[in-house]
Amino acid sequence: MDAKNISKILESLESALYGFAISPLNKENKQGGYFTLLDKKSGHILVTAQIGKIPDDKYKKYHDFSIEKARRVFKTNRFTSYATRDEKKNQYGGAISTNDHIFSFSGLPELADEALMIYVTTKLEYQALEEEGRKNMSTLNFFAAYENRNNIFLSVFICS
């Protein structure tokens, strides 16, 4: 993956994270986290980057969790890290696999981490299609969350 594509990913992440951060659904006032991009064939980390603001006491935690999620998806060959989450081992959701890469984020509530990765990869695919002449650009309107007993469900709303 070249620098231009990595730059597009980081820009998309910043934009989507901002949308979540200003949402009234961001009850914990989370403002950022760490992103990891892993090559799916080799397992090498291509990028690890801070996105947004992170409390001083969370840098190492979010950084390490982001890498761990990506590596776990690589090792298990699952679509998401949520499929192999294990709270006893501090292993959570937040990473997803695409054809060539694994995208991982840590810093938001667990399902929001994963929803953010799904949104960004979907948006980038739409942008690639648009570059080929299709007009199907979508933008993030907001994340919606609701609580049902102890389960949190997130939806990503994408509007034309």
pLDDT in tens, 117-154: 888 888 777 444 444 333 333 333 333 333 333 334 34
Whole-number pLDDT of residue 66: 98
Burial class of residue 10 in the structure, from the number of CB atoms within 10 Å of its CB (0-12 exposed, 13-18 middle, 19+ buried): middle
Q: Which residues of the chain have pLDDT under 70?
A: 126-160
DSSP helix/strand/coil, 29: coil
* CATH code linked to domain 3-159: 3.30.450
Which DSSP symbol is given to 94? -
Q: Would you give the DSSP letter of residue 132?
A: T
